[in-house]
Amino acid sequence: MIGIIGGSGVYEITQKADSCEEKLVKTDYGEVKVSLLEIFSKKVAFIPRHAQGHSIPPHKINFRANIDALKSVGVTKIIATNSVGSMNENMAPGSFVIPNDFLDFSQNRAKTYFEDKVVHIDVTEPYCPYLRDVLAESGDVTLGGTYVCTEGPRFETPAEIKMFKMLGGDLVGMTGLPEVTLARERQMCYNSICIVSNYASGISDQELTIDEVFEMVAQKETELLELIYNFIRNIDETKDCTCNHALDGAEV
């Protein structure tokens, strides 16, 4: 099964599915409402990351429950969408960027399933290369970029953006971590479509607002959904991948 974790602009995917069933999935970390869809005769599980009505702020998202819920319904491959600011002038607002690395500056989040045992997963290639290749075939995307995750919910200061850029960051957002590493711990393929909504603080000379984020996502909604539909059409959900064996050699 294919998993989709969506933010703004993806909620409408449930309305265009051939069938849709909502299921409340119980996990050790909480309950999660999952929409079970059929699209192009493929099974798809969808979770709105911020819940219905975009009501959960980024620092309050139950990442462990979301990933575990997808795992429990049979998902092996996850594609996520993340709204981001750009620190790279070559990644302009309106771009879709597929990251290949991250810097984690989030602070108060549960970041692992392994609280009582020693497990060191490899993240040399944190985002699944197979899903990257499928996304590259599915629409107009920019491949490669370092995603910086901050705690939120405030936007970043110009000095923080300057630091992130000096460290090699290209994109900045609040929702990408620990989602990607939790998926790896559950041996699931994971990649992200980063929707560039604006230039980050200090790069843009405009005051940042959440309105411009929603406005850009609304402008790109049709194109984003088409990219996701093409991805679903093109993916081989049965394909084996190194992500599906991430715990081999990781446990002490």
Residue 178 has pLDDT above 80, yes or no: yes
State the pLDDT at residue 10: 78
Q: Is the pLDDT of residue 2 over 90?
A: yes
pLDDT band at 125 (very low <50, low <70, confident <90, very high): very high
3-class SS letters over the chain: CEEEEECCCCHHHHHHCCEEEEEEEEECCEEEEEEEEEECCEEEEEEECCCCCCCCCHHHCCHHHHHHHHHHCCCCEEEEEEEEEECCCCCCCCCEEECCEEEEECCCCCCCCCCCCCECCCCCCCCCHHHHHHHHHHCCCEECCEEEEECCCCCCCHHHHHHHHHCCCCEEECCCCCHHHHHHHCCCEEEEEEEEEEECECCECCCCCHHHHHHHHHHHHHHHHHHHHHHHHHCCCCCCCHHHHCCCCCEC
Q: Enumerate domains of the chain plus CATH numbers.
A: 2-245 (3.40.50.1580)
pLDDT at 252: 63
Q: Which pLDDT band holds residue 9 (cuts at 50, 70, 90)? A: low
Residue 100 token pair: 């290949």
* pLDDT at residue 61 tops 70: yes
Lowest mean pLDDT among 87-91, 93-97, 144-148, 219-223: 219-223
What is the value of pTM for the model shown?
0.95
